[in-house]
C-alpha cells in the first residue's frame, strides 16, 4: 500500500513529545519529503501567487472549512506566514506539493495541525488541474508517514464534507477509517456543515506498514 510513497527522511532523529509535535529536522525550512512523483516542501512567499490562483476557485474552496470565497487579497501571503510559523514552532507541518524535481510548480498544499497534545488533523487542497492523478493520496500517505515516524502522535484525524466523496476516498486509500458523521463549524462557509469524521490510529498505521513490508519482501 505504501510502496513508492515512502517519505525519504532520516528516521533516526529523535521523536518528540509534549507541546512540540515535530523534531528539529522538520522545523527547518530545508526539510522536504519525497515520494515517487512529488516533493513536499515548506511554503515560501514566492508561492503566494500560485496559492491564490487555485484557492480563488470555488471548486477548491467550497468543501473546505477555511478557504474564503471570494479569496481576499493577501490571504495567500498570510497562509504562508502562518504555515511557516507553525512549522518553525514544531506545532504543525504544512507543506506545498510540487512535482518531483520542479519545486516552483505548485500542485497544492497539505498540512497536519496539532490538536491537543498528541493528535494531528490532516487537511489538503490541490489545484483542479492536478486532480484525479493520485497526487492527493500520494501526498497524504507521505505526510502521514512522516507524522507517525517523526512524532509521538497517537492518532491523525480528518473531517470531510459529506458531499466530497473524492476526499473521503483519499483518506480511505491512506488507511483512515470513518468513525461518525455530524455537524462541524466551517468558518469560511459561515455555517455548520455536515461532515464525516475519519481517524487513523498509530496501531492501524503500524499494521498497514508491516503488511506492506511483508508484501514487498515476497
Ligand atoms: C479532494 C482532493 C484533494 C482529491 O485529490 P486527488 O489528487 O484528485 O485525489 P486522488 O486522485 O489521490 O484520489 C481521488 C479518489 O477519489 C475518487 N473520486 C473522485 N471523484 C469521486 C466522486 N465524485 N465520487 C467517488 N469517488 C470519487 C477517485 O476515483 C479516486 O479514487 P480511486 O483511486 O480509487 O479511483 C482534491 O479534489 C481537492 O483538492 N479538492 C478541493 C479541496 C478539498 O476538497 N479538500 C479536502 C477538504 S476535506
**What percentage of the chain reaches a pLDDT higher than 90?**
89
| Neighbouring-strand partners of residue 38 | 99
Q: What is the model's pLDDT at position 3? A: 32
CA dist 59 and 19 (Å) reads 35
- Using a 6 Å cutoff on CB, does residue 160 contact ligand 1? yes
Q: What is the model's pLDDT at position 40? A: 98
Give the atom of ligand 1 at the shortest distance from the alpha carbon of 161. 48
Contact 111, 140 (CB under 8 A): no
For residue 34, cis peptide bond before it (omega within 30 degrees of 0)? no
- Alpha carbon of 126 to ligand 1 centroid (Å): 10
Going from N- to C-terminal start, the domains of the chain cover 24-153
Rg of the chain over Cα atoms, rounded to whole angstroms, equals 16
CA dist 15 and 116 (Å) reads 17
Kind of pairing, strands 119-126 and 155-161?
A: parallel
- Using a 6 Å cutoff on CB, does residue 136 contact ligand 1? yes
Contact 197, 157 (CB under 8 A): yes
CA dist 163 and 130 (Å) reads 20
For residue 70, cis peptide bond before it (omega within 30 degrees of 0)? yes
Mind listing the pLDDT tens digit for each residue in 145-164? Answer: 999 999 999 999 999 999 99
Contact 161, 194 (CB under 8 A): yes
Mind listing the pLDDT tens digit for each residue in 88-133? Answer: 999 999 999 999 999 999 999 999 999 999 999 999 999 999 999 9
Q: What is the model's pLDDT at position 5? A: 36
Mind listing the pLDDT tens digit for each residue in 160-184? Answer: 999 999 999 999 999 999 999 999 9
- Alpha carbon of 96 to ligand 1 centroid (Å): 18
Which residue is listed with cell 461532515?
195
Going 133 to 165 to 153 to 212, the CA torsion angle's sign is: negative
- Using a 6 Å cutoff on CB, does residue 64 contact ligand 1? yes
pTM score above 0.85:
yes
Q: Is 23 left (phi over 0), alpha (psi -120 to 50) or beta?
A: beta
CA dist 31 and 212 (Å) reads 25
Q: What is the DSSP string of 84-100?
A: HHHHHHTS-EEEEEEET
CATH superfamily of 24-153: Gcn5-related N-acetyltransferase (GNAT) (3.40.630.30)
Amino acid at each position: 500500500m505504501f510502496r513508492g510513497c515512502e517519505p525519504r527522511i532520516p528516521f533516526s532523529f529523535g521523536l518528540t513529545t509534549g507541546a512540540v509535535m515535530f523534531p528539529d529536522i522538520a522545523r527547518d525550512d530545508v526539510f522536504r519529503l519525497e515520494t515517487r512523483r512529488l516533493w513536499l516542501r515548506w511554503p515560501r512567499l514566492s508561492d503566494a501567487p500560485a496559492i491564490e490562483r487555485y484557492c480563488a476557485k470555488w471548486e477548491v474552496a467550497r468543501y473546505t472549512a477555511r478557504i474564503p470565497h471570494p479569496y481576499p487579497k493577501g490571504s495567500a501571503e498570510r497562509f504562508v506566514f502562518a504555515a511557516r510559523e507553525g512549522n518553525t514552532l514544531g506545532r504543525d507541518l504544512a507543506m506545498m506539493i510540487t512535482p518531483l524535481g520542479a519545486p516552483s510548480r505548485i500542485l497544492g498544499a497539505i498540512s497536519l495541525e496539532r490538536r491537543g497534545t498528541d493528535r494531528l488533523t490532516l487537511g489538503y487542497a490541490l489545484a483542479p488541474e492536478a486532480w484525479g492523478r493520485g497526487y492527493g493520496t500520494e501526498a497524504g500517505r507521505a505526510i502521514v508517514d512522516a507524522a507517525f515516524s517523526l512524532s509521538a502522535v497517537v492518532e491523525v484525524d480528518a473531517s470531510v464534507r459529506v458531499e466530497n466523496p473524492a476526499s473521503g476516498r483519499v483518506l480511505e486509500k491512506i488507511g483512515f477509517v470513518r468513525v461518525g458523521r455530524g455537524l462541524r463549524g466551517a468558518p469560511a462557509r459561515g455555517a455548520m456543515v455536515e461532515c464525516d469524521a475519519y481517524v487513523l490510529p498509530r496501531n492501524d498505521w503500524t499494521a498497514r506498514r508491516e503488511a506492506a513490508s511483508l508484501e514487498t519482501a515476497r
